[in-house]
Amino acid sequence: MAAVEQSDLSLMSLEDELTCSICLSPFDCPVTIPCGHNFCQGCLLTTWTEPYRCPQCRTLFHTKPELKKNTVLSTVVEAFNLRLVRSASSMSAEEKETKEETREDAVIRCDTCMEAEAANTCLTCMVSFCEEHLRPHRENPVFRLHQLIEPVGDLLERLCPDHHKLMDLFCSQHVRPICSLCLQQDHKGCTFTSPEDQRKLKESELKDKLDVLNAKIVHNETIMYKMRDMEDMLKASATIKKKALVAEYQEMHDMLTQEESTAMNAVDREVETCGTKLNLLKKKFAENIDHMNGAKEYINNQLSQSQTLAFLQVSFNLPAAVNFDPYTPRINLDSKKVMANETFAVTLKDHLTELFKQPVESRLPLAKPEPLGNPGYPLCPSPDQGPQSKAGPKKKPSKQTKKPQPTEKLVGYNPFAEFGGKDPGRPPVIQPNQKTEPSDIPANLASAEKRSDLLKYASALMLDRKTAHKRILVTEECTKASVTDEQANYPNCPQRFVVCSQVLTSKGFSSGRHYWEVRLSCNNFIGIGLAYSSIDRKGSTSRLGRNAQSWCVEWFNVKLSAWHNSHETVLCNPNPKRVGVLLDYEGCKATFYNVADRAYPFHTFEFPFAQAVYPAFWMFSSGSSITLCKV
């Protein structure tokens, strides 16, 4: 028997090892994964999603492991559950016996006979008596002064541990029950009351506290009701706002649908116009072909004439249409209205795309672009200008000549005369309107410069590893800087940036003009600028543009800003892929260009430089990089 109990205890001690770490219950159909941990099959399949990781040690599995039942562990769990049921049944039997014993102990017995139930307890004798043994107290006058009360079972707890007398007093100063001898000795001079009075006082205090608690509960419940009402109001308000938003967006949807329908109708009308013109041309060409075929048949008949005199008297004049070579006319849909609709759709889409990239709080000011020349947005086109085209005035479309009246003499008819084409050697142009291509360069085109003019001042640059922050990796012969999650193992030196992920070039300039270009991996969380070698490397103001020793243009959350001495100037973002910088040291200027087919300036710093300036770069997002171009 002892051996069985010992085995039960040893098995019960393995409860933690036989418990699933997901459901915190004994294993149910346990399975083992490659890392060695066990789980319930149902729990693991319910919580397991790609990528597959161990819920306990987080080991990654590239493919879903095959799950097999752990038969040994399953047998141990079954034995454990059986022992658990047996232990529970034995514990319930013991609890029943304990309750019965407690019920029997609750009955107060007579201290004299130890059998009959006590009728009263004498506080003078400190003994409980049944009715039989209580007779002397009731009949004998000697016991008349003895105090009888209802039977109590805590007589020993009412005795003073120091004097073995009844503790019939309560010391208010020491907050404890005392006897009469305690009052004369250790508690002499203390204020005291009877236990009954002290109980009444405590009951009054507790009732007051109950009143406070009830009032607090009512107050909290009132606030809860108000919050529920507020929740209902919020839901109702949200419903109203949603309806308003749906109505607004539906109106915009209807407007866009109407604009789309208008644009489609314009294209259809242009197709009909061009089709009409093509049909007219085809009819004229067919008539010319018929007349030339008639002339051909006439000539063949004359060639077959047998009489020589008659043959020589016939005229051999050819139709006038033979004198020119026909060309296929260029008829397309590049009309003014079609191109305007197409350009507007592209521009509106680009504007909405840039607008939706911004947080909702920032969209309202951007929805109303400033006019051209605003200091905050110096390079943004005004709304009524539309997309900018290449430099130079637009050519006015040539005026169409008056349509000639139809004539019965179609031989020699010039089909191009209707469209102003006098030279049959040139193909006709039905719509000479030039197509305006939308430009993605929001620069002032009048100030664009030829890249070849800037390359005269080109300088070769290399990044200085001694200045690179440990999150910046310098590669490709010190021409590329990229941000990494792990810090590079660079030695500590006073030139290195410690707080901001920045890097300088190894070469600075203190005179002349110098030009370099930088290729960007993205247009966000990147800064390009200039800095003195005396710029702080460790302080909170060591970031480019946040001090008097540096200047930079910075892309942050798609917003482009120019920074110097912690002063920000918001610029229109051209989203360049390559940025050129022209430093004019004596002219006290540094100009930044968006390099495309030409160099479009988008900002210029004007400042009298006092020291040699070094090209500087700031990057923040992991994976972002800049590359010094070979120019």
Domain count of the fold of the chain? 3
Query: CB of 428 within 8 A of CB of 419?
Result: yes
d(CA 272, CA 145): 130
Q: Report pLDDT for 197.
A: 86
For residue 91, what is the domain's CATH number?
Answer: 3.30.40.10
Indicate whether 409 pLDDT > 80.
no
Question: 101: pLDDT confidence band, cut at 50, 70 and 90?
Answer: low
Residue 441 pLDDT: 42
Same domain membership, residue 617 and residue 497: yes
Q: Choose the weakest-confidence range: 135-149, 204-218, 241-255, 480-494.
A: 135-149
This model's pTM is above 0.85: no
Which residue among 106, 128, 159 closes a domain? 106
Q: Are residues 456 and 575 in the same domain?
A: yes
Q: Is 337 a domain residue?
A: no
Same domain, 611 and 472: yes
620 and 549 fall within a common domain: yes
Could you tell me if 505 and 611 lie in one domain?
A: yes
392 against 363, higher pLDDT = 363
Instruction: Please give the average per-residue pLDDT across 579-583, as a whole number.
Output: 96
Domain range enclosing 584: 445-628
Give the CA count within 13 Å in the CB-facing half-sphere of 394.
12
**Is the pLDDT confidence value at 373 over 90?**
no
Residue 80 counted as domain residue:
yes
| Residue 292 resides in a domain | no
Inter-residue contact 341 to 263 (CB < 8 Å) = yes
In a domain, 573, yes or no: yes
Q: What is the mean pLDDT of the chain?
A: 80
Tell whether 17 and 122 lie within a shared domain: no
Q: What is the pLDDT of residue 340?
A: 84
Domain with 548 in it: what CATH number?
Answer: 2.60.120.920
What's the first-to-final CA gap in the chain, in angstroms? Answer: 94
Domain boundary among 77, 106, 135: 106
96 and 130 assigned to the same domain: no
Q: Which two tokens stand for residue 54?
A: 């161990």
> What percentage of the chain reaches a pLDDT higher than 90?
33
- Is the pLDDT assigned to residue 398 strictly greater than 80? no
pLDDT digits (tens, 9 = 90+) for 17-47: 788 888 888 888 899 988 888 989 888 888 8
- What is the model's pLDDT at position 397? 43
Is 10 within a domain? yes
In a domain, 315, yes or no: no
pLDDT at 150 > cutoff 90: no
Residues 484 and 463 grouped into a single domain: yes
On whether residue 209 sits in a domain, the answer given is no
Task: Look at residue 489 and tell me if it is in a domain.
Answer: yes
- H/E run at residue 613: strand 613-619
pLDDT digits (tens, 9 = 90+) for 427-448: 333 343 333 333 344 444 447 8
Looking at the fold, whether 28 and 57 belong to one and the same domain comes out as: yes
Q: Confirm if 377 and 571 have CB atoms less than 8 A apart.
A: yes
Q: What percent of the chain has pLDDT over 70?
A: 81
- 187-201, 226-240, 395-409: the lowest-pLDDT one: 395-409
Predicted confidence (pLDDT) at residue 566 exceeds the cutoff of 90: yes
Residues 16, 145: one domain?
A: no
Per-residue pLDDT, 468: 95
User: Looking at residues 108-129, what average pLDDT do you find?
Assistant: 85
Out of 36, 71, 106, pick the residue that ends a domain: 106
**The amino acid at 92:** S
pLDDT tens column, 228-279 = 999 999 999 999 999 999 999 999 999 999 989 998 998 898 888 888 988 9
Instruction: Please report the pLDDT score of residue 97 as a whole number.
Output: 65
The answer to whether the peptide bond before residue 51 is cis (omega within 30 degrees of 0) is: yes
Residues 554 and 602 in one domain: yes
The pLDDT tens digits for 523-565 are: 889 999 999 999 999 888 899 999 999 999 999 877 899 999 9
Residue from 550, 547, 556 nearest 527 by CA: 556
SS3 per-residue string spanning 446-507: HHCECHHHHHHHECCCCECHHHCCCCEEEECCCCEEEECCCCCCCCCCCCCCCCCCEEEECC
How many Cα neighbours within 13 Å face the side chain of 408? Answer: 0
For the cut 60, the answer to whether the pLDDT of residue 406 exceeds it is no
One domain for residues 453 and 537: yes
